[in-house]
């Protein structure tokens, strides 16, 4: 009875009229677009001194000339193009939570585990019951009861995880009625509106109802994976629409690769695109190789300018433009006379990695890894998505270089581990329910992703196209065509033809033993040194083992379960 009396202290108050109940986040200021305030006219006693307005206009022209684009003001799309989430009635929520709390406590007590509910947090898609364990109870005892708890609460599944910064565990139970998180609600939040980052992205709302806004530049690369229908494509569209609301083409340029040819094609014609959306997997390899070359070119420019990253470089460009605008017409812009080019940030979006890996695995993986390793300071960032989170698609080398990840609902613990290096994604309920694991965070955060409809996407794209003209880069398109022609004339790379017939057997030996060495394969397979070394090289190319590290044995990057999954997929 004492436990039941305590439940009244943690249950939320019964909500009033649904019309007076705001969404789960706090009221946020309306969207606004900062406009320039006309400066005061220059003093009459200094007729030759340019006004602040004239200096700013000259700086804008200098930067635009440096980027070889005409001066054209980007028209940010208005917030009215997006729809707000419908208000849902919360009547009966208190009684539902009370019933669930009592059944949860009774279920745990029936297995000999006495726990106290200290708080209840209701989010858009799940409710978290925060519980305090008695001393001496192992956390593994509770996680082993997840199926029994789900059965008692009438839920498909529950997720049990420690709560960061609290001496408590959270039992997350799906809500009977999921509240839609509209993209408009997050874009109009303080976090998005006041963020100075040009790559700010509206991700969704966490379990407390707080808007989650991330900066792609700090990721600095993002891996997204989940099964069909889990919300992966909607998440990619939310990222792209967020960038259209936050950044002009002078600040951010996009390269989109869509082998499925159905997801990103409607973005063709927006001014942010460097090239039309790439749908040919062979040309996608050329686009990635251009990005590697652009990364190296930018680092050469940084070295010549004596700066370390894109932010410092562009600040130097602005300073040079201001000096050139204020200097007399017959003087040089800089002592050396060399004029710097302003550089935008570049975001490369790959919607289906698996299709690229089937056509040109070696070239694609090499380019992605090189970009992921070095491109952060150059202002280039990857967003890679796949609906096949298997070890042959998301290789060990790729995972080690893309630290920030988002997992939507997956079918098994094996797939969850491939994405996040931990379990939990197999317990998600789909429809935008995600686990977000950014760089530097030990535990993933559960977020309900933003929803944006096809009609909203079309309205925003139509507005952007009608107000700003697209200018594709001929240099990038010519590079891609040359690369495709070279691959065609050389026959390209065919992994199947190059594969040794003993490779599957060699991989099995390496995975089971947990180590990879040429001498071990020589003994076990009775081979010569050259062939055994070639087998190890092929395993490295496919992300099975790590690179050569001198006297240390090579690291094995996949588990037995990963290898079994690869073999099953190849048989299918």
- CATH code of residue 19: 3.30.980.40
Query: Is 421 found in the same domain as 368?
Result: yes
Identify the CATH number of the domain in which residue 560 sits: 1.10.10.10
- How far is Cα 188 from Cα 152, in angstroms, rounded to an integer? 39
442 belongs to an annotated ligand binding site: no
Structural domain ending residue among the three candidates 148, 174, 200: 174
What integer pLDDT is reported at residue 322 of this predicted model? 81
Helix and strand numbers, DSSP H then E, in the chain: 20, 13
- How far is Cα 561 from Cα 567, in angstroms, rounded to an integer? 10
Alpha carbon distances (Å) from 416 to 53, 421, 504: 55, 7, 24
Alpha carbon distances (Å) from 529 to 495, 533, 535: 22, 6, 10
CA terminus-to-terminus distance, the chain: 57
Contact 155, 57 (CB under 8 A): no
pLDDT of residue 102 exceeding 60: yes
Query: Is 466 found in the same domain as 508?
Result: no
Whether 39 is in a domain gets the answer: no
Query: What are 29's two structure tokens?
Result: 């200021």
What integer pLDDT is reported at residue 22 of this predicted model? 39
- How far is Cα 58 from Cα 52, in angstroms, rounded to an integer? 10
Whether 30 is in a domain gets the answer: no
**Cα 107 from chain centroid?**
38
Query: Is 395 found in the same domain as 479?
Result: yes
What is the reported pTM? Answer: 0.72
- How far is Cα 54 from Cα 260, in angstroms, rounded to an integer? 48
With cut-offs at 50, 70 and 90, classify the pLDDT of residue 325. confident
pLDDT of residue 332 exceeding 60: no
What integer pLDDT is reported at residue 570 of this predicted model? 66
Query: Is 310 found in the same domain as 190?
Result: yes
519 belongs to an annotated ligand binding site: no
Structural domain ending residue among the three candidates 122, 149, 174: 174
Query: Is 212 found in the same domain as 344?
Result: yes
233 belongs to an annotated ligand binding site: yes
Residues of the domain holding 118? 2-23+89-174
- Dihedral of the alpha carbons of 94, 100, 106, 112, in degrees to the nearest 10: -120
227 belongs to an annotated ligand binding site: yes
What integer pLDDT is reported at residue 341 of this predicted model? 79
* Residue carrying structure tokens 């010519």: 478
Tell me the HSE value of 289 on the side-chain side, using a 13 A CA sphere: 20
Query: Is 17 found in the same domain as 124?
Result: yes
231 belongs to an annotated ligand binding site: yes
With cut-offs at 50, 70 and 90, classify the pLDDT of residue 338. low
Query: Is 561 found in the same domain as 452?
Result: no
- How many domains does one find in the chain? 3
What integer pLDDT is reported at residue 262 of this predicted model? 82
228 belongs to an annotated ligand binding site: yes
What integer pLDDT is reported at residue 45 of this predicted model? 43
- How far is Cα 387 from Cα 227, in angstroms, rounded to an integer? 5
**487 or 309: which carries more pLDDT confidence?**
309
With cut-offs at 50, 70 and 90, classify the pLDDT of residue 361. confident
Segment 223-257, tens digit of pLDDT: 999 998 899 999 999 999 999 999 999 999 999 99
Query: What are 478's two structure tokens?
Result: 């010519």
424 belongs to an annotated ligand binding site: no
Segment 10-68, tens digit of pLDDT: 565 544 443 443 333 444 433 333 433 344 444 444 444 454 445 444 544 544 454 44
232 belongs to an annotated ligand binding site: yes
Query: Is 363 found in the same domain as 306?
Result: yes
Helix pair 454-467, 232-246: axis angle to 10 deg: 30
3-state secondary structure of 353: helix
Mean pLDDT of 2-7: 52
Query: Is 501 found in the same domain as 463?
Result: no
**51 or 381: which carries more pLDDT confidence?**
381
Query: What are 353's two structure tokens?
Result: 């990695």
Structural domain ending residue among the three candidates 127, 146, 174: 174
Any idea what DSSP says for residue 128?
E
Query: Is 503 found in the same domain as 481?
Result: no
Segment 509-541, tens digit of pLDDT: 999 988 888 888 888 888 888 788 888 888 887
What integer pLDDT is reported at residue 6 of this predicted model? 55
- How far is Cα 1 from Cα 5, in angstroms, rounded to an integer? 6
Query: Is 214 found in the same domain as 135?
Result: no
Query: Is 466 found in the same domain as 435?
Result: yes
Contact 270, 464 (CB under 8 A): yes
**572 or 261: which carries more pLDDT confidence?**
261
Across the chain, mean pLDDT equals: 82
Any idea what DSSP says for residue 12?
P
Calculate what percentage of the chain has a pLDDT beyond 70.
Answer: 82
Q: Nearest-CA neighbor of 482 among 282, 249, 274?
A: 282
């Amino acid at each position: 009875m004492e436990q039941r009396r305590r439940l009244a202290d943690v249950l939320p108050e019964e909500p009033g009229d649904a019309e007076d109940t705001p969404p789960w986040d706090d009221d946020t200021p309306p969207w606004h677009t900062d406009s320039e305030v006309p400066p005061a006219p220059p003093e009459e006693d200094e007729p030759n001194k340019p006004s602040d307005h004239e200096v700013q206009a000259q700086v804008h022209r200098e930067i635009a000339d440096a980027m070889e684009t005409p001066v054209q003001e980007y028209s940010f799309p208005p917030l009215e193009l997006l729809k707000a989430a419908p208000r849902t009635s919360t009547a009966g929520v208190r009684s539902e939570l009370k019933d669930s709390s009592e059944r949860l406590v009774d279920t745990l007590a029936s297995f000999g585990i006495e726990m106290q509910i200290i708080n209840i947090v209701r989010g858009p898609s799940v409710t978290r019951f925060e519980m305090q364990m008695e001393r001496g109870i192992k956390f593994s005892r509770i996680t082993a009861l997840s199926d029994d708890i789900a059965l008692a609460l009438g839920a498909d599944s529950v997720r049990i995880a420690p709560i960061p910064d609290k001496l408590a565990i959270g039992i997350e139970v799906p809500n009977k009625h999921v509240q839609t998180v509209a993209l408009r609600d997050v874009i109009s939040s303080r976090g998005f509106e006041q963020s100075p980052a040009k790559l700010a992205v509206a991700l969704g709302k966490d379990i407390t109802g707080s808007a989650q806004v991330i900066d792609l530049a700090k990721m600095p690369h993002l891996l997204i994976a989940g099964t069909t229908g889990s919300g992966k494509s909607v998440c990619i569209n939310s990222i792209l629409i967020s960038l259209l609301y936050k950044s002009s083409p002078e600040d951010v340029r996009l390269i989109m690769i869509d082998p499925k040819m159905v997801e990103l094609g409607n973005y063709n014609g927006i001014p942010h695109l460097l090239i039309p959306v790439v749908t040919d997997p062979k040309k996608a390899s050329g686009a990635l190789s251009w990005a590697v070359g652009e990364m190296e070119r930018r680092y050469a420019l940084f070295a010549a300018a004596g700066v370390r990253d894109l932010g410092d470089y562009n600040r130097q460009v602005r300073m040079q433009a201001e000096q050139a605008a204020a200097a007399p017409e017959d003087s040089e812009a800089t002592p050396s006379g060399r004029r710097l080019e302003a550089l935008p940030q570049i975001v490369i979006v790959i919607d289906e990695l698996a299709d690229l890996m089937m056509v040109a695995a070696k070239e694609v993986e090499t380019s992605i890894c090189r970009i992921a390793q070095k491109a952060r300071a150059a202002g280039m960032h990857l967003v890679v998505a796949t609906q096949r989170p298997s070890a042959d698609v998301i290789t060990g080398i790729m995972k080690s270089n893309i630290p920030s990840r988002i997992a939507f609902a997956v079918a098994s613990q094996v797939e969850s581990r491939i994405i996040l290096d931990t379990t939990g994604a197999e317990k998600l309920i789909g429809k935008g329910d995600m686990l977000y694991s950014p760089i530097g965070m030990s535990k993933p955060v559960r977020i309900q992703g933003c929803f944006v409809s096809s009609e909203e996407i079309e309205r925003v794209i139509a507005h952007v196209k009608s107000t700003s003209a697209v200018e594709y880069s001929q240099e990038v398109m010519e590079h891609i065509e040359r690369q495709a022609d070279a691959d065609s004339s050389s026959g390209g790379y065919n992994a199947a033809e190059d594969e040794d017939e003993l490779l599957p057997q060699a991989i099995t030996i390496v995975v089971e033993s947990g180590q990879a060495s040429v001498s071990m394969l020589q003994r076990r397979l009775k081979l010569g040194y050259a062939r055994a070394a070639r087998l190890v090289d092929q395993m490295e190319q496919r992300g099975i083992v790590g690179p050569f590290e001198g006297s240390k044995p090579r690291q094995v990057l996949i588990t037995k379960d990963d290898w079994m999954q690869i073999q099953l997929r190849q048989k299918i």
